[in-house]
Amino acid sequence: MNPTLTQAASLPNIPWQNRPGNCSAPVWRYTENPIISRNPIPDVARIFNSAVIPYQGAYVGVFRGEQVNGIPFIYFGRSRDGIHWEFEPDKIQFVDENGEPFQPIYAYDPRLVEVDGTYYVIWCQDAYGAAIGMAKTTDFRTFVRVENPFLPFNRNAVLFPRKVNDKYLMLSRPSDSGHTPFGDIFLSESKDMEYWGHHRHVMGKSSRWWENTKIGGGAAPIETSEGWLLFYHGVTNTCNGFVYSIGGAILDLDEPSRVKYRCENFLLTPEQWYEERGFVPNVCFPCATLQDGDTGRIAIYYGCADSYVGLAFTDVQTVVEYIQSHDAACDDDCSEGRR
């Protein structure tokens, strides 16, 4: 039986290009990349590592905007086709539960996930060290901060798009406050989206060259007939610094701390000029996907060289079968992750 998307809605206007005839890779790039270039709006030098979602027949997104003063914040954007974007000129104005202004000192690498009709923005910020910040919205006009889920130091938090066993689930990557030279993916659960616990190890770095330094969550997991499809980033260290690639794994539907399949090969690694050259060279950093339930098509949004936003494509059958046929999950990956 072919792998399928089991919960994805119909998305007939999903951005898409067919795989080129000379391409045998399971993921292929949009030929007009990058879709967001430098200096996209006044006082913002670069937009990258950003997340999008379907909304009211079009698309909205939360975007890491690196201001010209070097401080990152989250900006809001809209698009009719998921490719050409218009941005609000000012950063998102977050409020607390009483409607009072409550801005983080800085905010970067946002994810955007809908759970039970509410849209959650998750980002990295300062909370006396690198930590995870969260806010919720139902209309993309008012963004209400919720409690930070974890103590410092943590990054790369990603919510699952539905409850599992009546619990909200989140992936994260414990870290330090610098350019972390280590990192594994962990799973945490919550009954109320406020108190998080029952932490489980999902998977760590491997001996494979492209992910032998650290890994971290990317886009929100995608529910398929074979399990939760996870696009994540894997990092290696070279004489010229870190190199970030996109990897793929499939997690158990009912116990997502258990890895069913983990691809030995990268799905995308820096090869194009906009991935190899930029403020931080050699970076492909996945943050979001779109899926069309009718066709199985998947569009992947990824940050490029901390300078641009790129778009890549696959379909559920192609990428799941590729991960399965190149499986290198070890015993520790497949375990419950509890010690």
Structure confidence by residue, pLDDT tens digits, 276-329: 999 999 999 999 999 999 999 999 999 999 999 999 999 999 999 999 999 999
Residues contacting 268, CB < 8 A, separation 6+: 25, 27, 29, 245, 246, 284, 300, 302, 312
The residues that bridge with 79 in the sheet, in sequence order, are 59
Q: What does the mean pLDDT of the chain come to?
A: 97
Q: Which residue has the tokens 């955007």?
A: 112
**Percent of the chain with pLDDT strictly greater than 70:** 100
Cα separation of the two ends of the chain: 36
CATH number at residue 250: 2.115.10.20
Query: Which range marks the domain in which residue 284 is found?
Result: 28-326
Question: Could you tell me the pTM of the whole model?
Answer: 0.98
Percent composition of the chain: helix, strand, coil (DSSP 3-state, to 5): 5, 45, 45
Strand partners, 303: 285, 309
**Of 72-81, 122-131, 172-181, 321-330, the least confident:** 172-181
Q: Structural domain tally of the chain?
A: 1
What is the Cα 280 distance to its own chain's centre?
Answer: 18
The number of residues in the chain equals 339
Cβ proximity of 108 and 72 under 8 Å: yes
- 164-219 residue pLDDT tens: 999 999 999 999 888 888 999 999 999 999 999 999 999 999 999 999 999 999 99
Is residue 320 helix, strand or coil?
helix
Is residue 335 in a domain?
A: no
